[in-house]
Amino acid sequence: MEKVFFPASVVVFGVSASPANLARNIVLNLQRFGFKGAVYAVGKDGGEVNGVRIHPTVDDVPAVPELAVFLLPARYIPGAVEACGRKGIRRVIIESGGFGEFADEGRDLEDEVLNIARRWGMRVVGPNCISIVNLENGLALPFVPLDDREVRKGHISIVAQSGGVAIDCMRLLSYENLGASKLISMGNKLDVNENDFIEFLNADPDTRVIGCYLENVADGARLMRLAGRTDKPLVVLKANTNPVSHRAAQFHTAALAGDDEVVTAAFRQAGIHRVQNLSEMMECFKVFSLPVIKGPRLAVLGRSGGQAVLLADAVHRYGFELAALSDDFFGHVRQHLRAGVIRMSNPLDMGDIFNIDSYAGIVEKALSEDGVDGVVFSHAYVASLEVAPSKRLLGASLELARRYGKPVIPCIIPDRHAWFSVKEDAKAFLFEDVDLAMKALSRSLRHHRFHSERKARVPGEPARTRRKAALPGGFMGPLEAFSLLGAYGVPAAASAAVASVGEAVKAARRLRYPVALKTADPGVLHKTEKGGVALGIRSEAELRKACRAMKAGRFLVQKMAPAGTEVIIGARRDNEFGHVLLFGLGGIFVEVLKDTALRVAPLSAKEAVAMALDIKAAALLKGFRGGGALDVKALSRCIAGVSRLLADHPEIGNIDINPLILYGKGQGCIAVDAKIEVS
């Protein structure tokens, strides 16, 4: 990847001298942004572009360039890649469209290109992208003309599937006075994908924050590992939120753990910050351009009572606290009062302080307090009189944040005439909405806590690698499912599979009444809805009657479990993240209440406990209104056991344990229904 971002030489294919030619823009962008390496051009008609000779073929290029960029009709790309392979070029970027995004023929072209690349040991970026911008060395490869005066250098890097979104991000980063380091448009991700770029950016000293726009995730498990291995914030805008598959109706887990819910849960589990739009992404970039906040205690300053109230509401809404400020702080504030009508409190209304240049000193005094983790201030100024000192205040606030290692959040709405100059002159960024600012700041606190806990974790023993024979495909019978789950620590009610009424009677005598009768026909997945469950049978007569009414080919006779709290443990294989575990309230309420927690496997026992307590109804597990606490330890052992089962048998596609009946603390749990599908 190093040579993709820092090549000593670049060759551009598809160049002509025509002003309408798009590939010539790549050559011009490289010159405009000051790329110091050698630039070569290839085009069948020859000529030159701004002093760069256009060679008829790559064989005519007098050196072996380190990076090739293609903007040719798709049908010519395989031949061009082959020619690069023979030349010795090992990194190519295909900006051309007309591949897998276009038609079946395009997918065939992709396969051909990938086969050629692998034969020559080449790495491919794209196709269908606008390529890469590296503002460290002036590598500007998009085929659209870029104005270097409109692009600001910074330390935020963007990885996007969309070229348009990448350009939008570059513009917004400049407008917001943040600046970019590297921008990547991946297109179809034929070879190199977001994980390859993120791995490079994790190690890139010029990148401090990484932003992504993704329409699909190439390898969710790898993405989670990469996010967990770095302190750099990873902010992801995930689009293309698809509905769940057509098999969702067969398993509660599939219906409840839809594709987009899995993405959200996986990102949260990995410490990835998911946003819903570019505006929210920019607010995150602003916050993460400040020191990460290390606690919830805020000093809140406003120039009016209304601003202070709005800030106080947002502080509470996003889980922060109003810091206890010292008498020394308030003594400093009193020195600047005009009428002495301000109540000394937090939030602090600074409406009686008219010397704006004194505000920076108040911000600094707040930052110096041991009990303050960050400062938020909302500032309104008189447009005709106070623009210049307001610019000084903005610049000072960000400098103070860096000096004290604590964030300062300046919320300012500039007047129309000074909208851009306020930020430009202060060489700073600002927040315009207090609620969005506090929401973004809450991500900073979450980031600090997540990575502090990650570093404090004691590494466990390496996972055991077990060779297990693959399970036969299809739906398991109920006794097979119970047996397999039991081997992984999930206890089940005593049961017997029978094929006739007489066998059912014998089984019930052996198990002892009361019993439950269920259909064991493999095609019936939702037994209650199909009349396939009869509970609390206390006699042979009741059992015979239930068998006749059920009209099943096979039955399951099961010892009735004592009443308890019904929960569900489920799992399904997700196309992007692998096996996903689900926990929630069970029984018939699971799809009504939809109070569930999701995690990507594997899970440790400790993580299983956290998952169990992540549902909204966690108070029921802990004991609510006189009710005793439930056996969360037994529950977590079952969740962790299912996680181990999935690790040993990746061929499992779906699991539903519903209901698992949970009893009081120390009394365990028992599964009374389970479905397992092997793909």
Q: Quick one: three-class SS letters along 545-586?
A: HHHHHHCCCCEEEEECCCCCEEEEEEEEEECCCEEEEEEEEC
Q: Could you tell me where the beta strands, DSSP code E, fall in 327-407?
A: 348-349, 374-379
Give dist(CA 68, CA 132) in Å, integer: 12
Stated as kind and residue range, the H or E segment containing 277 is: none
Examine the domain organization and report whether 183 and 317 are in the same domain: no
Task: Indicate the residue among 508, 539, 559 that finishes a domain.
Answer: 559
**Is there a contact between 148 and 33 (Cβ–Cβ < 8 Å)?**
yes
How many H helices and E strands in the chain? Answer: 23, 30
- pLDDT tens by residue, 361-417: 999 999 999 999 999 998 877 666 778 888 888 889 999 999 999 999 998 887 676
Name the nearest CA neighbour of 428 among 333, 352, 360, 369.
360
Say whether both 282 and 309 belong to one domain.
no
User: What CATH number should be reported for the domain holding residue 536?
Assistant: 3.30.1490.20
Question: In the structure encoding, which two tokens stand for residue 62, read together?
Answer: 């007098």
* Helix (H), strand (E) at residue 373: none
According to DSSP, the β-strands at 273-275 and 234-238 are parallel
Whether 521 is covered by a domain: the verdict is yes
Residue 486 lies in a domain: no
CATH number at residue 578: 3.30.470.20
Under-70 pLDDT residues of the chain = 242-258, 339-341, 382-384, 415, 417-420, 422-423, 425-426, 457-467, 522-530, 587-593, 625-626
Joined together, the tokens standing for residue 472 give 């036969």
507: in domain = yes
Judgement on whether residues 596 and 669 belong to the same structural domain of the protein: yes
Here the tokens at position 185 are 């448009």
The kind and range of the H/E element at 94 are strand 91-94
Under 8 Å between Cβ of 233 and 248: no
Distances (CA, A) of 547 to 464, 529, 532: 45, 17, 10
CATH number where 240 lies: 3.40.50.261
pLDDT value of position 105: 80
Mind listing the pLDDT tens digit for each residue in 568-602?
A: 999 999 988 999 999 998 766 666 667 889 999 99
CATH number of residue 57's parent domain: 3.40.50.720
Nearest Cα to Cα of residue 166 among 131, 127, 218, 216:
131
Q: Give pLDDT, residue 289.
A: 96
How far is it, in rounded angstroms, from Cα 272 to Cα 221? Answer: 13
142 occurs within a structural domain: no
**Secondary structure of 391-430 in the HEC alphabet?**
HHHHHHHHHHHHHHCCCEEEEECCCHHHCCHHHHHHCCCC
531 Cβ neighbours under 8 A, 6+ residues apart? 549, 550
**pLDDT for residue 467:** 58
The answer to whether residue 467 sits within a structural domain is no
Of 389, 380, 388, 395, nearest to 426 (Cα)? 395
> Do 530 and 595 lie in a common domain?
no
Shared domain check, 530 and 578? no
Q: Are residues 427 and 297 in the same domain?
A: yes
Do 285 and 331 lie in one domain? The reply is: no
For position 44, what pLDDT does the model report? 93
The pLDDT score that the predictor gives to residue 252 is 42
Whether 302 and 447 map to the same domain: the answer is: yes
Which of 329, 674, 338 is closest to 527 using CA atoms? 674
Q: What is the pLDDT of residue 287?
A: 97
Q: How far apart are CA 183 and CA 33, in angstroms?
A: 14
Residues 275, 204 within the same domain: yes
E strand map for 138-265: 139-140, 153-160, 180-185, 209-214, 234-238
What distance in Å separates the CA atoms of residue 396 and residue 266, rounded to the nearest whole number? 39
326 DSSP assignment: -
Q: Which two tokens stand for residue 329?
A: 């702080």
Rounded Cα–Cα distance for residues 374 and 311 (Å) = 13
Q: Which of 258, 256, 262 is nearest to 243 (CA)?
A: 258
Clarify whether residues 73 and 216 are in a common domain. Answer: no
- Domain extent, residue 301, equals 291-455
Cβ neighbours for 331, distance < 8 A, ≥ 6 positions apart: none
Contact 412, 398 (CB under 8 A): no
Q: Is residue 488 in some structural domain?
A: no
First-residue to last-residue Cα distance in the chain: 36
Residue whose pair of structure tokens reads 């052992």 in the numeric block: 637
**Same domain flag for 118 and 188:** no
257 is a domain residue: yes
Helix (H) or strand (E) holding 442: helix 434-456
Last residue of a domain, one of 274, 289, 304: 289
Give the chain's largest Cα–Cα span.
Answer: 98
CA angle 355, 357, 360 (to 5 degrees): 120
Look-up of token digits 């995930």: 238
Continuous segment of H or E residues that includes residue 22: none
Q: How far apart are CA 308 and CA 411, in angstroms?
A: 11
The answer to whether residues 262 and 340 belong to one domain is no
Count of the separate structural domains present in the chain: 5
Residue 485 lies in a domain: no
Of 289, 322, 338, which closes a domain?
289
